[in-house]
Chains A and B, each alone.
Chain A
């Protein structure tokens, strides 16, 4: 069994993707990178993967058979999202508001509704060298990211190490991104912004009961508040990445750092070893690696 490691952060732009991409690259073999930041998936910029298959992400929406619909309004009464309304005995569906829960179909006693579907995004699969690459991608203008992230869940396996790159924040897309993982890495920066949002992210992973650790990016460029916080809360700091304009530049060019910065690959492997040790203490059974 191999662990599923989610990489998250409260604050955006702290270096989640940089960390996830370089962790996956350091582990080389036997690893799959998942881009679950489906609103702004950026992993492909670094990996330049060869995409071998594309699949639409479909969400359920009710389809109305107007011959059977009596305009009774039972469906719109049960819909908690105002996605159906009856106007002069005509039933109108608003796909953007629909959560795909199926309550309307249960409530319809005239058999006038059946399950239809609508594409809101894509799952792209391929590889970058020996690394597996899977990304979710929300269509612009669509509001709901969680179904696209959920579409990644069945693709997670226990045979390879899985690194999931999650979106920023602590709301529903983040929950969907981290909840199938064995360990969550929270990437932060040593500022009051970083600390404020790290605190929220820690509360989230604690509530989900997931083992976690912190990576401090640009570790020497801010203040010590994040270090003190982790110390007080007994949260392991897995890695500190120093601030370096060269790293900044390489990232901006979509370069994988471990192929350019000497010694960095070892630091990522050490970080993975720390994660494995924590998981082992928690009773996670590794095989190989």
Chain B
């Protein structure tokens, strides 16, 4: 079983569209949407949720005002500004550290388990998809990412599926680290903009930190061909293979929006995009099986 993780640093470069298109071509795979904050991969397919699971993570403090002497010790020790002047704890800000509980003489504060979100096992015309919805303002998105990755591995093992395709989150923080640790190959989807280039360098630095094989694909390359060339050159100088240059199409937003209602959104993509993604898939497949 091999895992490929698709990340970008910068948001909106086309991670999900490319993940979905690759998955449409890939035989014998399971998809995992690790952008648990704002998951979109399921919107590219006619997705039917088969299982829904609760995701508990961390703790939240609750203060019983009846038992509170309003001594103010809890407010003094809380470093997260989560207890207001009326001794109400704001669950959005509480990290569940329990420092307040330690200093409360009247035992007015208790910690309880926190329902932080849900995760799902779904069926799509392109095979199984594991995805999740993290609650608003929740911490620990990395833990939820780890949870759904573990689940996808179990399904892959059970059903003897050979490849796990991970659609990663944007950024370089905790969920991204969780979406790339231990994978066999990382594909960074970038775009020819100075922002894309800047973020590409930050995500590559992160991937290198973890000693994971990494390659790059330039999406919408013809928006700014000079910058695309520069990105290609920078990658070569760093020893990173550029495995694809995918053209831009103003049609793509319409294709995405009607994806759920058609049998295969890949078929609806403009021809030149299809060809470049087929080529990309071939290269990635070869790379992954050769590792």
A residues apposed to B, CB below 8 Å = 10-14, 17, 39-40, 42, 45, 60, 78, 80-81, 99-103, 106-107, 138, 140-145, 167-175, 179, 189-193, 196-197, 200, 203-204, 207-208, 218, 221-223, 225, 243, 245, 248-249, 251-254
Contacts and interface: CB of A to CB of B under 8 A. Distances in A.
Interface stretch (B148-156, B201-209, B272-280): B201-209
B121 to A, nearest CB: 19
The 8 closest A-B pairs by CB, nearest first: A13-B12, A12-B11, A101-B97, A169-B37, A252-B193, A143-B174, A39-B171, A254-B194
A145 B224 contact: no
Give the dominant DSSP class at A's interface: loop
A40 B98 contact: no
A225 B137 contact: no
B209 A140 contact: yes
28 contacts: A39-B202, A42-B194, A99-B97, A101-B98, A102-B77, A103-B102, A106-B77, A140-B172, A140-B209, A141-B206, A143-B142, A144-B174, A145-B171, A168-B11, A169-B38, A170-B137, A171-B37, A171-B134, A171-B141, A172-B137, A175-B92, A196-B40, A218-B253, A243-B253, A252-B193, A252-B194, A252-B223, A254-B195
B254 A222 contact: yes
Interface of B: 8-13, 16, 37-38, 40, 43, 58-59, 77, 79-80, 92-93, 95-99, 102-103, 111, 134, 136-139, 141-142, 169-174, 177, 191-196, 198-199, 202, 205-206, 209, 220, 223-224, 227, 248, 250, 253-254, 256-260
Contacts of B77: 102, 106
Given A103-B97, A140-B202, A254-B195, 9 more contacts: A42-B199, A45-B195, A143-B177, A172-B138, A193-B256, A197-B40, A207-B136, A208-B92, A254-B194
Contacts of A143: 142, 173-174, 177
Contacts of A191: 253, 256-257
A197 B133 CA distance: 11
A14 B193 CA distance: 14
A4 B195 CA distance: 24
Nearest to A226: B257
A197 B12 CA distance: 12
Nearest to B134: A171
Contact of A245 (B139, B199, B223): B223
B99 A101 contact: yes
Nearest to A38: B173
Given A221-B253, A222-B253, A45 B198 contact: yes
Nearest to B14: A13
A79 to B, nearest CB: 8
Given A80-B58, A81-B97, A175-B92, A11 B38 contact: yes
A289 to B, nearest CB: 29
A265 to B, nearest CB: 22
A171 to B, nearest CB: 5
A81 B140 CA distance: 11
